[in-house]
């Protein structure tokens, strides 16, 4: 991979979790971050697809790991954060990209549809993120994250 210009080096050596990173926007983001020297954790409900995406990134020399994640389950988000900080010693970015859409007119949605969409909202991923102003977190900070 080519060395990026100075302005793009914010991601060099950083560690990022991308939820829903196995396809679409999340996958493109993982590729763009890896291209800039970031270690990426591609976390997705579709583990096979995440592993495929990671295989392609590694083939290009990137540091990448696939992880199974269901963002609607707080304990899974929390575990992934703890594991990442434990393994990498840091977690600089967490992109809460995973989400679902339900096609059709909103007026035709059921309340269950509505809550299903909300359940995938960014607060789900954010709930596992240690509350700190600085971007890099330590294992100790991660262990202080709210339940
Ligand atoms: N593409 C658009 O036009 C558009 C518009 C508005 C908002 N968005 C939002 O942007 C995000 C990405 O969109 P996209 O088009 O790349 O979608 P996509 O369907 O291609 O990718 C979403 C990824 O999230 C994963 N995912 C779904 N539920 C999950 C869960 N519970 N836990 C973990 N992973 C889960 C899927 O397996 C998939 O790999 C979504 O949150 C989507 O709602 C997209």
**Average pLDDT in the 11-26 region?**
97
- What's the Cα-to-Cα distance from 62 to each of 6, 25, 133, rounded to whole Å? 19, 18, 28
| Coil, helix or strand at residue 116 | helix
Residue nearest to atom 13 of ligand 1 (CA): 25
Q: Give distance in angstroms: CA of 5 to centre of ligand 1.
A: 30
Please tell me which residue, 119 or 131, carries the higher pLDDT value.
Answer: 119
Q: Does the Cβ of 8 fall within 6 Å of ligand 1?
A: no
Domain 15-140, classified CATH 3.40.50.720, yes or no: yes
Q: Tell me 6's DSSP state.
A: G
- What number of residues does the chain have? 147
Q: Which residue has the higher pLDDT, 2 or 24?
A: 24
Pocket test residue of 22, 24, 27, 48 for ligand 1, highest count of atoms within 8 A of CB: 24
Note the pTM of the prediction, 2 decimals.
Answer: 0.84
Q: What is the pLDDT of residue 40?
A: 98
What is the rounded average pLDDT of the residues 100-115?
Answer: 90
Please indicate whether residue 19, judged by its CB atom, sits closer than 6 Å to ligand 1.
yes
């Amino acid at each position: 991979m080519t060395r990026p210009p100075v302005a793009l080096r914010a991601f060099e050596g950083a560690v990022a979790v991308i939820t829903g990173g196995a396809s679409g926007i999340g996958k493109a983001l993982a590729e763009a971050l890896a291209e800039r020297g970031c270690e990426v954790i591609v976390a997705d409900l579709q583990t096979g697809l995440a592993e495929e995406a990671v295989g392609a990134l590694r083939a290009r020399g990137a540091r990448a790991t696939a992880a199974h994640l269901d963002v609607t389950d707080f304990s899974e988000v929390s575990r992934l954060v703890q594991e990442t900080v434990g393994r990498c010693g840091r977690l600089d970015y967490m992109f809460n990209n995973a989400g679902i859409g339900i096609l059709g007119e909103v007026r035709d949605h059921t309340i269950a549809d509505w809550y299903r969409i909300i359940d995938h909202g960014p607060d789900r991923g954010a709930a596992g993120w240690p509350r700190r102003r600085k971007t890099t977190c330590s294992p100790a900070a991660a262990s202080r994250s709210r339940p």
